[in-house]
Amino acid sequence: MEQLKLNNGQTIPQLGLGVFKVEDANDLKQAVDAALKNGYRHFDTATIYHNEAWLGEALAESDVKREDLFITSKVWNSNTTYDETIAAFHESLKKLQTDYLDLYLIHWPSEGYNEKWRAMESLYNDGLIKSIGVSNFEKPHMEKLLTTAKVKPAVDQLETHPYFQQKEMNDYLKSLDIAHEAWGPLGQGKSNVLEDPVLKKIAEAHNKSVAQVILHWHLQRDIIVIPKSVHANRIAQNIDVFDFTLTDEEMSLIASIDKNQRGSGDPNDEEMLKN
Ligand code: NAD
C-alpha cells in the first residue's frame, strides 16, 4: 500500500475503506474482513455514521495489530464547544475500542470550529490523536481556522470526483502542504460518472474498470481515497489500482470532463451546517 507523508511527519495509507451508510453490523463486519484480507489498513468513519462501535468490534476481532491500522473518525456539527469536542472524541475512542486515533477531523465547518480545533490540538498534544484535520473546509473556512490554529491541519477531506474535481482547492491545499483527501471519490454511485464515455475508453485501454481508473486518477493527483463498498468483489477491485499509470494525455482528458457539479452537501449552505 502506498503511504503518503503528512505535514507533521506521520504517514497515511493513500487508499482506505469508507463506511458511510453501512447500516448493518454484519455488512460492516464482512466488509472489514474482506478489506483486511485484500490489504486495506485504513478505515474512515464518523460519529454521525453511527457505526463506530461495529467498526471497532470488527477490527478488534481481526488479527491485525492496532499499530498496523489507520483509523479516522470525525466530530459532528452538534458538538460546538471545546468540552463537547473532548467528550465526543473520548466517546469515539471507546466505541472504536482503541486508545488513540490516527486521524480526527472536524466533519463540517459548522459553528465554533475554531474552538473545536483548540480542543483537537489539546488531544493531539496529549498524544491521543496522531494527526488532526478538517473536512469540507473551503478556502475562507481554512483561512479563518488558520487565524487561531497553532497546529496546521494535516488533511482536508472534500467531495472530489471526476465531475467535481476541486482543482482550485487541490492547488490551494498543495500550497499549504495540507493533504487533499477525497470523499465520494466514485461520485457516491449516484452521479453517472461510472458511465462516462471518456472514462470508459480509458478503462478499456488499461483493461481496468471505470472505478479503478477513477481511483488511480485520484492517486496520481496525490489525493487520498476512501471508496466505500460492502461487496467483497468491489472491495478487492478498488484496491487493485496500483499497477498502472495514466498518461499525461489521459490525465488531461479526465480534467476536461469536470462539470464542477457537487453530488451532496454544500459547506456554504448555513442550513445544512445546522443539522
Ligand atoms: P463513494 O464515491 O465511495 O461511492 C460509493 C458507492 O459507489 C457504493 O455504494 C457503490 O454504489 C459504488 N461503488 C463502489 N465501488 C464500486 C466499484 N468498484 N464499481 C462500481 N460501483 C462501485 O461514496 P461515499 O461512500 O459517499 O464516499 C466514500 C467515503 O467517504 C464514505 O464512505 C465516508 O467514509 C467518506 N465520506 C465523507 C464525507 C464527509 O463529509 N467528510 C461525506 C461523504 C462520505
Q: Which pLDDT score, from 0 to 100, does residue 205 have?
A: 98
**172 flagged as catalytic:** no
Min mean pLDDT across 34-38, 189-193, 256-260 is at 189-193
Residue 63 has pLDDT above 90, yes or no: yes
Q: Please give the number of the atom of ligand 1 that sits closest to the Cα of 237.
A: 18
Pocket flag, ligand 1, residue 101 (CB < 6 Å) = no
The size of the chain, in residues, is 275
Q: Which of 250, 162, 166, 168 is nearest to 201 (CA)?
A: 250
Across the range 251-267, mean pLDDT stands at 94
- Give the model's confidence band at 116: pLDDT under 50 very low, under 70 low, under 90 confident, else very high: very high
Across the range 216-221, mean pLDDT stands at 98
Q: Which residues lie across from 157 on neighbouring strands?
A: 135, 181
In whole numbers, what is the pLDDT of the chain averaged over residues? 97
- Give the model's confidence band at 271: pLDDT under 50 very low, under 70 low, under 90 confident, else very high: confident
* Ligand 1 centre distance from Cα of residue 150 (Å): 32
Across the range 226-236, mean pLDDT stands at 98
Residue type present at position 47: T
Across the range 173-193, mean pLDDT stands at 95
Across the range 195-219, mean pLDDT stands at 98
Whole-structure pTM value = 0.98
- Give the model's confidence band at 162: pLDDT under 50 very low, under 70 low, under 90 confident, else very high: very high
Q: Which of 84, 94, 120, 171 is nearest to 8 (CA)?
A: 120
Of 15, 155, 228, the residue with max ligand 1 atoms within 8 A of its CB, to mutate for a pocket test, comes to 228
Q: Which pLDDT score, from 0 to 100, does residue 275 have?
A: 61
Residue 207 has pLDDT above 80, yes or no: yes
- Identify the structural domains of the chain with CATH numbers, from first to last: 3-263 (3.20.20.100)
Torsion sign across C-alpha atoms 257, 263, 267, 271: positive
Antiparallel, parallel or unpaired: β 224-225 and 179-183: parallel
| % of the chain with per-residue pLDDT over 70 | 100
